[in-house]
C-alpha cells in the first residue's frame, strides 16, 4: 500500500505547489476563476492519462470544457456526453467543439485485435467494432500500425458526424457559427494533427433539413 499512498500524497503536495506558484504569478487567477467560466472550446477526448487537453493545448483551467471517455466515442445515446454538449453549447456558448483521438489508443487496438476485453468495455466499444467492420476492406491491406492510425482518424470523423447531427449543435452552427473540428494527438511528437472532416454541401443541407422546426 505504500506505493499507492505515496503516489496520492505526491499528487496532493504537487497541487499545493501549483496553487501557490499560480497565485504568486497571477494573483487574480483564482478569484476570477471562482466567479465563473466562459470556455471557448468543448473538448471530446479519450480518457487516456497521456492526453490531458488543457496541457496539450497549452491553455489554462477555465479555457476548455471537457468530456472524456474510453476511445473518445461520440454516441447519440450517451446521456452523459449529450448533457455536456447541451450545457456547453446552449449555456456556455462555446465557439468550437473538438473531437480528439490519439495514437496508440488502447480502445482502437482492442477492437482491431477483435478479442474479448471483458465487462462493460465490450459493450462500450461496440460502435468502434462496427466502424472496423465498415472499413474492413480498407484495413485488410494495411500493416497493424497503419490500421491503428486509420481507425483513430475514422473514429474521429464518425464522432464529428454524430456531433453535427445533435439538434443543439445544428442550431448553434446555423445561428452563431459554432465550428466542429476533428483532431488526432500524436503521442510521439506531442502535436495535434487535423483530421479532414469536411462534408459536401448537399450532405450538410440534408442533415440540417432533418431537424428544421415546422
Report d(CA 65, CA 62) in Å as an integer: 7
Q: How far apart are CA 161 and CA 138, in angstroms?
A: 20
Q: If we measure between CA atoms, which residue out of 105, 98, 146, 99 comes closest to residue 125?
A: 105
Residue 48 in marked binding region: yes
Supply the Cα-derived Rg of the chain in whole angstroms. Answer: 19
Q: Is 122 annotated as a binding residue?
A: no
Active site amino acids: 46, 48, 50, 102, 105
CA dist., res. 30 & res. 210, Å (int): 44
Question: Which of 178, 181, 135 minimizes the C-alpha distance to 160?
Answer: 181
Place of cell 488543457: 54
135 belongs to an annotated ligand binding site:
no
**Annotation-wise, does 111 bind a ligand?**
no
Q: Which grid coordinates are listed for 28?
A: 487574480
Spatial separation of the C-alpha atoms in residues 2 and 12, rounded to whole Å: 15
The Cα–Cα gap between 126 and 196 comes to 24
Binding residues for Zn(2+): 46, 48, 102, 105
Q: Which residues are annotated as a binding site?
A: 46, 48, 102, 105
Amino acid at each position: 500500500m505504500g506505493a499507492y499512498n505515496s503516489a496520492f500524497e505526491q499528487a496532493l503536495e504537487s497541487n499545493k505547489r501549483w496553487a501557490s506558484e499560480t497565485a504568486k504569478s497571477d494573483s487574480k487567477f483564482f478569484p476570477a476563476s471562482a466567479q465563473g467560466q466562459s470556455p471557448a472550446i468543448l473538448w471530446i477526448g479519450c480518457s487516456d492519462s497521456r492526453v490531458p487537453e488543457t496541457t496539450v493545448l497549452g491553455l489554462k483551467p477555465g479555457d476548455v470544457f471537457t468530456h472524456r471517455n474510453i476511445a473518445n466515442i461520440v454516441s447519440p445515446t450517451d446521456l452523459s456526453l449529450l448533457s455536456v454538449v447541451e450545457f456547453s453549447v446552449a449555456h456556455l456558448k462555446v465557439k468550437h467543439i473538438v473531437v480528439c483521438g490519439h495514437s496508440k489508443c488502447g480502445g482502437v487496438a482492442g477492437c482491431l485485435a477483435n478479442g474479448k476485453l471483458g465487462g462493460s468495455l465490450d459493450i462500450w466499444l461496440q460502435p468502434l467494432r462496427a466502424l472496423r467492420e465498415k472499413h474492413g476492406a480498407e484495413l485488410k491491406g494495411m500493416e497493424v500500425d497503419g490500421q491503428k492510425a486509420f481507425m483513430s482518424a475514422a473514429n474521429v470523423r464518425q464522432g464529428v458526424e454524430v456531433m453535427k447531427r445533435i439538434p443543439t449543435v445544428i442550431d448553434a452552427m446555423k445561428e452563431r457559427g459554432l465550428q466542429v473540428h476533428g483532431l488526432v494527438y500524436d503521442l510521439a511528437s506531442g502535436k495535434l494533427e487535423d483530421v479532414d472532416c469536411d462534408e459536401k454541401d448537399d450532405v450538410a443541407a440534408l442533415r440540417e433539413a432533418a431537424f428544421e422546426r415546422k
